[in-house]
Amino acid sequence: MTIGAVADHFGLPTHVLRHWESVGLLRPARVTGGHRRYTRDDLFRVASILRAKQAGLSLPDIRAFLAAGDPAVRKAVLRRNHGALRARMAALRSALNLVEAGLNCSHEDIATCPNYRGQLAELVEVGGD
């Protein structure tokens, strides 16, 4: 596939793929005239990069993760990012619970809704109160 086709497939601008190549994340084959040609393996690599970015990994960590020939090195990179990802997921779950409590509230003033307030209680509680 051409760089344009890969970019379209993943909904990315072509300059992102070029940047990832410049920092060592991608190595597409070159054909006559220096044009890039991406293989199915390259598509899996792009998908891996995208998913790792969604998980919050930095480009250097993604490069280390993908380049690691030693499973222990790969796992060390993933362990460094695991806690931060779990914390973000917990925060998103709390935010979703708040939105759902708001959607399920029929009170005129949402600030007085017991279910809505219940989602905020841990933020409001002051030691000893």
CA 112/CA 118 separation, integer angstroms: 10
CB 103 within 8 A of CB 115: no
Q: For residue 37, give the 3-state DSSP assignment.
A: strand
Confidence of residue 129 (pLDDT cuts 50, 70, 90): low
Residue 16: its pLDDT value, please? 98
Name the burial class of residue 80, with classes exposed (0-12), middle (13-18) and buried (19+) by CB atoms within 10 angstroms of its CB: middle
Strand locations in the chain (E): 29-30, 36-37
Q: Would you kindly state where each structural domain of the chain is located, as residue ranges?
A: 1-56, 82-129
In the chain, the N- to C-terminal Cα span, in Å, equals: 63
CB 46 within 8 A of CB 6: yes
Query: What does CATH list as the number for 1-56?
Result: 1.10.1660.10
Task: Please give the C-alpha separations between residue 13 and each of 4, 90, 103, in angstroms, as whole numbers.
Answer: 8, 31, 36
* pLDDT tens readout for residues 8-63: 999 999 999 999 999 999 999 999 898 999 999 999 999 999 999 999 999 999 99
**Looking up tokens 């960590």, which residue turns up?**
61
